[in-house]
A and B are shown apart, each in its own frame.
Chain A
Amino acid sequence: MDGYVLAQARSQCFYPRFERKPESPESTHYCPGCGHGILHKLIARVLDEFGVQDRTVFVSPVGCSVFAYYYFDLGHVQAAHGRASAVATAIKRTRPDSVVLCYQGDGDLAAIGTAEILHAANRGEPFTVFFVNNAIYGMTGGQAAPTTPLAAVSTTTPYGRSALNDGYPLKMAELLASLEAPVYVERVALGNGKQITAAWRAIRTAIDVQRRGLGFSFIEVLSPCPTVWKLTPVEAQKRVRDELTKVFPLGVKCDRRRQTVPRSQPPAALPADQVEVLLRGAEAEGEWPHPLACQPVDVRLKIAGFGGQGIQLLGEVIAQAGMYAGLHVSWLPSYGPEMRSGTSNASVRLSTNEVDSPVVSRPTHLIALNEPSLRKFLASVEPGGMVFYNNESFPTDCVRSDLELVAVPFTQQADRLGDPRVANMVALGAWLERVPCLPDGALELALKAHVKSESLIALNREAIQQGRLLCAQRRYRT
């Protein structure tokens, strides 16, 4: 080799032999004149120049370039059709130091994966996308692409692409450049030496944008596909120059490098012991459990009313207080459409023994905060059970002689306290007066877990107290 100066050696980002390829490891599987080979070389050259081979991850799509891993000596993740940008998003986010190259064809990126690329670009994901646009589905044998020019014939546009039937060729570079987040978007072509040199510069800029942590970069490459176009390699390049660049104008579509500051590194991971403190942490403050003074407990409580009456909160407070009292507990909301409007109900179990089913179908206790709820659930109450109803009295046609019926106007009392929202706590007081299964300390802890402000806690306490008093004063019917 004496006397020669090696102007261009094979990139070290390529394997010397393509051992991963099942046949003929000396050559690629790309057709003569295919744009992929040229683009692979340009990318590899830039990676060499930046010295980022070890930290580069190549995301290959479905299409002819699915086998890019035969050639590039890089980390490889092969993605489902259209999902390369979603896959690349997660790779970059979980390995922020990586250089992620997302390599997608026109079907992959501009048809099946339109949502993924649009949102990755809109989030400004700091990786680089190479969009290889050859205006046809190459690997599957020549079907129309979203980028096929009008009037162009393909196996699925046998009479030529019609704007009325198939829409217009999709201009992805322009589309993505219209977003606010992308830092660099350019369209290049592989139609001749000059265009290829310009493509190399664009690739260099795009990978540099990523290397500097600036943000999303996107290079659309108009690329020849001689085999499927049924042209010679020379004719195919001519078509790229003369025809495709007319439909897809070359050039920089957006360049925000100057006004973009490098992204800050994501925060370091928290050590495991601190994670444990954070997540298992300070939920349960204070001394507990509070041992029970009363008899064995097996409460199956149904609480029902309008959405907005604090039904679910009341259920949570009772169940959580039960936990602090050392009972087995469960709370199950009716989380269905009731949540938005109409009625709401909660199932609460408090038991000395393990709770079998959290679903309360035959309640021992019913707290009904409105009449529809009373009517809906009264029949389900277990004989011998208790019903607490939010009114002066029960409707005459809605009573049962085998139950203890307690009518207390919870809402009216809450209004007197100045806040109708605490009607649920008045109800709680009334219920506790007849079912004294929760010690005050446990209740206090549960209230604190749900109500943050001291003044509101005081109001809730007062409401509970009023509920107790009202219930104690009332003669209940059996």
Chain B
Amino acid sequence: MSAPVFLKGNEALLRSAILAGCRAFFGYPITPASEITEAAAYWMPLVGGVFLQAESEVAAINMVYGAAATGTRVMTASSGPGISLMQEGFSYLAGAELPCVIADITRGGPGLGNISPEQSDYFQVVKGGGHGCYRNLVLAPASVQEMADLTVLAFELADRYRNPVVVMADGCIGQMMEPVVLPKAVSEREPPSWAVMATAATRRNLITSIHLLNDDLERHNRALEAKYRRAQIEARWENWRTEDADFILMGYGIVGRVLKAVTERLRKKGVKAGLLRPITLFPFPTEEIRRLRDQVKGFLVVEMSTGQMVEDVRLAVEGVRPVEFYSRLGGNVPTAEEITDYALSMAPQSARQEERLWMAMF
């Protein structure tokens, strides 16, 4: 194993992308994702890749579309407001089945919001903010090492499923520094057979998302649907002290890290807590939640949003167990202390029981 280097999450993500064979980057600066674009501007020319600062996120995502169409491993990076602008491109990329990687280093919204970390992009990224029945595959790193590892995985999944893959990390994970072992460089891959590469062999290839006849478009959508079903096997998560847990904490990204500390604190207070941290948000670890559901008394979901992932948890739990929710907003990262206090306040006789029952009915 090679020695770790001490890197920012954003820098680790971009370097890993290049090591994974990414040779084109089109982006528009935005805090807290700009280091990715800056790193691409620095590294791409050195490896013979393409870097272009686009005139907008709209242009950037459509450049990603163009490069993906030629069979090039390509990515862009942005944050909430820019990701909103890119939704058109997401839809076309998914419709034309083009592989690419998008990094979303999330910040606070709505509107201009602020540049501090929130997790409020879950709906637009995981559920699909563009038009049509498509899904993004979504990976949620919780450390600088995962920024590296999941970026490599993102390129693999993008190719395997011919679909956009989003690496969605909150501003904390993008901005923090940790030791990271960067991945090995992938050797040159075979260009995909469907790509339009300006060669005789690929001249008859066509990249489009238009299917004029109703039956054609229905067939296309059924094929996409089947693909997303196939992709369910890619669900990944981290279990931490769940074996004997009575009580499951759930959170992704930076919250997943904080919840480890919460688990420890609760255990010290005699509460058998465990952590289930989704690593993929689509596909969602629904099966794992169902498995744990039968073992535990309840769930506590913590997000830096007013409750986005919690909807998927409730769908998975199917009302069989209470699913509690705790959140901080505006760039405030919930502390281990406040979450622990909240969790301890959830004793059955607490005054909030009525509200909990109401919530469980969702």
**Residues in A lying within 8 Å of B, measured CB to CB:** 20, 22, 53-57, 59, 66, 69, 73-80, 83, 86-91, 93-95, 97-100, 115-116, 118-119, 266-270, 272-273, 275-276, 278-280, 283-284, 288, 316, 319-320, 323, 329-333, 335-337, 355-359, 361-362, 449
Total chain B interface residues with beta-carbon distance under 8 A: 87
The docked-state distance in angstroms from the alpha carbon of A54 to that of B202 is: 8
CB-defined interface of B191-226 with A at 8 Å, one 1/0 digit per residue?
Answer: 000001111101111111110110010000000000
Q: Which of B132-176 contact A (CB under 8 A)?
A: 171-172, 175-176
A54–B204 CB distance below 8 A: no
Nearest-CB distance from B15 to chain A (Å)? 5
In terms of DSSP, what is the predominant structure of the interface of chain A?
Answer: mixed
Q: Indicate whether B329 reaches chain A with its CB closer than 8 angstroms.
A: no
Given contacts A275-B185, A356-B258, 18 further A-B contacts (CB under 8 A): A55-B198, A69-B206, A75-B197, A75-B203, A86-B60, A87-B66, A90-B62, A90-B63, A90-B69, A94-B72, A98-B70, A99-B198, A272-B187, A275-B18, A279-B182, A280-B2, A332-B175, A332-B176
A98-B198 contact in complex given A116-B55, A332-B176, C-beta closer than 8 Å: yes
Q: Which of B58-81 contact A (CB under 8 A)?
A: 58-60, 62-67, 69-70, 72, 74
A90–B48 CB distance below 8 A: no
B254–A359 CB distance below 8 A: yes
Nearest-CB distance from A432 to chain B (Å)? 19
Q: Which of B26-71 contact A (CB under 8 A)?
A: 26, 31-32, 43, 45-50, 52, 54-56, 58-60, 62-67, 69-70
| Choice from A94, A116, A333, A337 contacting B67 with Cβ under 8 Å | A94
A77-B178 contact in complex given A55-B198, A357-B260, C-beta closer than 8 Å: no
Closest 10 CB pairs of A and B: A90-B66, A98-B198, A361-B335, A269-B48, A78-B208, A87-B66, A356-B260, A83-B62, A86-B62, A276-B185
Cβ of B67: which chain A residues have Cβ within 8 Å of it? 90-91, 93-94
**Residues in B lying within 8 Å of A, measured CB to CB:** 2-7, 15, 18-19, 21, 23-24, 26, 31-32, 43, 45-50, 52, 54-56, 58-60, 62-67, 69-70, 72, 74, 88-89, 92, 96, 114-116, 171-172, 175-179, 182, 184-188, 196-200, 202-210, 212-213, 216, 254, 257-258, 260-261, 264, 331, 333, 335-337
A333–B176 CB distance below 8 A: yes
B172–A279 CB distance below 8 A: no
> Which one of B199, B207, B261 has the highest number of Cβ atoms from chain A below 10 Å of its Cβ?
B207
Closest residue of chain B to A289 (Cβ to Cβ) is B3
A89–B5 CB distance below 8 A: no
A116-B47 contact in complex given A73-B204, A272-B185, C-beta closer than 8 Å: no
CB<8 Å pairs between A and B, sample of 9 = A90-B26, A90-B67, A95-B197, A97-B198, A279-B18, A283-B7, A331-B177, A332-B175, A359-B333
The docked-state distance in angstroms from the alpha carbon of A331 to that of B175 is: 9
| Choice from B23, B65, B257 contacting A87 with Cβ under 8 Å | B65
The docked-state distance in angstroms from the alpha carbon of A358 to that of B92 is: 38
> Which one of A22, A91, A288 has the highest number of Cβ atoms from chain B below 10 Å of its Cβ?
A91
Closest residue of chain B to A21 (Cβ to Cβ) is B212
The docked-state distance in angstroms from the alpha carbon of A87 to that of B264 is: 50
The docked-state distance in angstroms from the alpha carbon of A177 to that of B207 is: 31
A119-B335 contact in complex given A332-B172, A356-B257, A356-B264, C-beta closer than 8 Å: no
Nearest-CB distance from B315 to chain A (Å)? 28
The docked-state distance in angstroms from the alpha carbon of A98 to that of B205 is: 14
A358–B63 CB distance below 8 A: no
Nearest-CB distance from A271 to chain B (Å)? 8
Cβ of A279: which chain B residues have Cβ within 8 Å of it? 15, 18-19, 43, 47, 182, 185
A22-B56 contact in complex given A78-B207, A86-B66, A273-B185, C-beta closer than 8 Å: no
Cβ of A98: which chain B residues have Cβ within 8 Å of it? 70, 198
A89-B63 contact in complex given A267-B48, A276-B185, C-beta closer than 8 Å: yes
Cβ of A316: which chain B residues have Cβ within 8 Å of it? 6, 177
The docked-state distance in angstroms from the alpha carbon of A320 to that of B144 is: 14
A319-B6 contact in complex given A86-B54, A336-B115, C-beta closer than 8 Å: yes
| Choice from B5, B92, B198, B209 contacting A283 with Cβ under 8 Å | B5
Cβ of A356: which chain B residues have Cβ within 8 Å of it? 257-258, 260-261, 264, 336
The docked-state distance in angstroms from the alpha carbon of A335 to that of B9 is: 13
B115–A83 CB distance below 8 A: no
Closest residue of chain A to B6 (Cβ to Cβ) is A320
B74–A80 CB distance below 8 A: no
The docked-state distance in angstroms from the alpha carbon of A328 to that of B177 is: 12
A357–B336 CB distance below 8 A: yes
Nearest-CB distance from B314 to chain A (Å)? 25
A76-B177 contact in complex given A54-B200, A279-B182, C-beta closer than 8 Å: no
Cβ of B15: which chain A residues have Cβ within 8 Å of it? 279-280
The docked-state distance in angstroms from the alpha carbon of A89 to that of B55 is: 12
Cβ of A90: which chain B residues have Cβ within 8 Å of it? 24, 26, 50, 52, 62-67, 69-70, 74
Nearest-CB distance from A176 to chain B (Å)? 15
| Choice from A74, A116, A273, A355 contacting B62 with Cβ under 8 Å | A116
The docked-state distance in angstroms from the alpha carbon of A57 to that of B18 is: 26
The docked-state distance in angstroms from the alpha carbon of A86 to that of B26 is: 10
Cβ of A337: which chain B residues have Cβ within 8 Å of it? 114-115
Closest residue of chain A to B179 (Cβ to Cβ) is A323
Closest residue of chain B to A83 (Cβ to Cβ) is B62
A276-B196 contact in complex given A53-B203, A116-B59, C-beta closer than 8 Å: no
A89-B66 contact in complex given A73-B203, A98-B198, C-beta closer than 8 Å: yes
Cβ of A333: which chain B residues have Cβ within 8 Å of it? 175-176
Cβ of A91: which chain B residues have Cβ within 8 Å of it? 66-67, 69-70, 196, 198
Closest residue of chain A to B200 (Cβ to Cβ) is A54
B257–A358 CB distance below 8 A: yes
B205–A76 CB distance below 8 A: yes
A80-B186 contact in complex given A75-B197, A267-B45, A269-B48, C-beta closer than 8 Å: no
The docked-state distance in angstroms from the alpha carbon of A267 to that of B26 is: 18
A269-B23 contact in complex given A55-B199, A279-B43, C-beta closer than 8 Å: yes
Nearest-CB distance from A338 to chain B (Å)? 10
The docked-state distance in angstroms from the alpha carbon of A209 to that of B152 is: 39
Cβ of B260: which chain A residues have Cβ within 8 Å of it? 356-357
Cβ of A276: which chain B residues have Cβ within 8 Å of it? 19, 184-185
The docked-state distance in angstroms from the alpha carbon of A54 to that of B199 is: 5
B176–A93 CB distance below 8 A: no
A275–B114 CB distance below 8 A: no
